[in-house]
Structure 1
């Protein structure tokens, strides 16, 4: 988990530095796109976009190891996407 947060923050800092000094919208779009896609994948893995009945059905047939892998993937994508989305918002405000 720490590695995913470090990677997400490192990429976000690189996008912020490049976007702030060059003032190109490309870095804002790239950071926002990466953040949005990562958070959407995290939402898909967590089951946000399905009904409660489907979540209960999936939990009934899912074993403990599969659940841990799914939750770990959800956290990894969220930790990579959140800093990038924040940087995209900052770059939008500062430009």
Structure 2
């Protein structure tokens, strides 16, 4: 079971013809329940909970006429496991 989750929100817009992302905030949720609360709104709670508990990245996007908002959440444990996994074909010392 994944115990801790890293959540981010970023706003994207167009400036001088280029898509620009501006980080709006980060939250390190100590429990799955708090990560789900942070992602509340248009998110389907049960589906999101299953994805996070399985260690998958969750992305929710919404927007208006000028801006897209992206909310991301992922398991801190899953991130650690990805970093610790050896690269295939490279010997581990």
Q: Determine which structure has the larger strand proportion and give its number.
A: 2
Same fold (TM over 0.5): no
Structure with larger RCO (C-alpha < 8 A, sep 6+): 1
Normalised by the size of structure 2, how large is the TM-score? 0.28
Normalised by the size of structure 1, how large is the TM-score? 0.28
